[in-house]
Amino acid sequence: MSVDEAESADNETDAAATAGTDHAIDDDAILRIRDLDAGYGDLQILTDVVLDVADEEYVTIVGPNGAGKSTVMKTVFGLTTHMGGTVEFEGRSIQGLAPEQIIREGIGFVPQNDNVFPGLSVRENLEMGAYILDEVPEDQIETIYDRFPILRERSDQKAGTLSGGQRQMVAMGRALMLDPDLLLLDEPSAGLAPDLVSDMFDRIDRINENGTAVLMVEQNAKEALRRCDRGYVLVNGENRYTDRGEVLLSDEDVRRDFLGG
């Protein structure tokens, strides 16, 4: 971003009338991120990021490319270099925990690309999602098959042979195997055929209605804001606006700068 663009972006912050900038929520946040600085190696991406997800809440992060949206998720999962600030989950710091331990705490993560094991069958993909348990939780596999019936049909098929939409279901099913309290979704609609996108969002709605809090990063910002409880607008690795989805959608500045009018 050039200096001029940065300045004009600053001016727009001041001009923001309706969209809120109160990034923290008052109480009962299960995920509580405060003043987070993080990046990769020496490269800092996130600066002073504040983000909360309440129990059973549906939160999306939107913003331009390179805003650090995915970095927030990866940082929650301990996959980036932590440079400052805190990340708490259900009242405990999860900073510095291995991904294996973070899963135990009750967080599931569906990354954007390559999110299934192509050489494993659908069922084996799901089983791997419950690796940390001693026994394969058959009832949970049944629950996931009930939610995504096509996966029951394809149970023995290699995940690499599935369509994009079906793979996304496998990836979500894998992350739901331990019935997490919070599900992190990185661009769930990426690479899906347009007619499958709203179907995918419906599925996410249902996962959330079943009591799983969702934190989602989406390119398809309008659709994501329409469906979520609250949205965060991230720019250049910093918080810009935070408000209920419909408020962000109706805010003129947000519409113009981040939603393409």
Partner 1 sequence: MGTTDSSIVDSARARPGLLFVALLGGLLLVDLAAKLAGVGLGPIGGSLSVDRLGSNLWSGIVIGLVIGLAGIGLSMTYSILSFANFAHGDLVSVGAFSGWGVAFLIAGFGDIPARALLTVRDAGNAAPGDIGAHILTTPGGILVGLLAAFVVTALLAVALDRAFYKPMRDRDGISLLIASIGAALIVRYLLQFVYGSDRRGITASVEASNIAFAPLGLSVNAHELTILVAALGLMLAMHGMLQHTKLGTAMRAMADNKDLALITGIPAERVVTATWIIGGGLAGASGYLYVLLRGTIQFDFGWLLLLLIFAAVILGGIGSVYGAIAGGLVIGVVFTTSTIWIPSDFNQAAAFGVMILMLLLRPEGLFGGVTTT
What is the CA angle 207-25-44, rounded to 5? 85
CA 167 and chain centroid, separation:
17
Contact between 190 and partner 1 (CB under 8 A)?
Answer: no
List the beta bridge partners of residue 81. 39
- Applying CB under 8 A, the span of 22-30, 87-95, 102-110, 211-219 interacting with partner 1 comes to 102-110
Distance separating alpha carbons of residues 224 and 232, to the nearest angstrom: 11
- Applying CB under 8 A, the span of 2-10, 31-39, 125-133, 210-218 interacting with partner 1 comes to 125-133
Q: Kindly list the distances between the CA atom of residue 212 and the CA atoms of 30, 97, 178, 179, 181, in Å, as whole numbers in the listed order.
A: 11, 22, 11, 8, 5
- Applying CB under 8 A, the span of 119-127, 210-218, 236-244, 248-256 interacting with partner 1 comes to 119-127
Provide the token pair at 182.
């919070």
Cα-flanking dihedrals φ and ψ of residue 97, to 5°?
-80, 150
Contact between 89 and partner 1 (CB under 8 A)?
Answer: no
Q: Kindly list the distances between the CA atom of residue 18 and the CA atoms of 28, 118, 258, in Å, as whole numbers in the listed order.
A: 25, 46, 15
Choice between 90 and 124, CB closer to partner 1: 124
Contact between 40 and partner 1 (CB under 8 A)?
Answer: no
Choice between 107 and 224, CB closer to partner 1: 107
Q: H helices then E strands: how many in the chain?
A: 11, 10
Contact between 128 and partner 1 (CB under 8 A)?
Answer: yes
Among 8, 11, 18, 99, binds partner 1 (CB under 8 A): 99
Rounded to a whole number of angstroms, the CA Rg of the chain reads 18
Total site size for partner 1, rule CB under 8 A: 25
Task: Fill in the per-residue mask, 61 to 80: x = in contact with partner 1 (CB under 8 A), - = not in contact.
Answer: ----------------x-x-
Contact between 140 and partner 1 (CB under 8 A)?
Answer: no
- Applying CB under 8 A, the span of 7-15, 85-93, 111-119, 204-212 interacting with partner 1 comes to 111-119
Distance separating alpha carbons of residues 69 and 83, to the nearest angstrom: 17
Enumerate binding residues for partner 1 (CB under 8 A): 77, 79, 99-100, 103-104, 109, 111, 114-120, 124, 127-129, 131-132, 136, 158, 160, 174
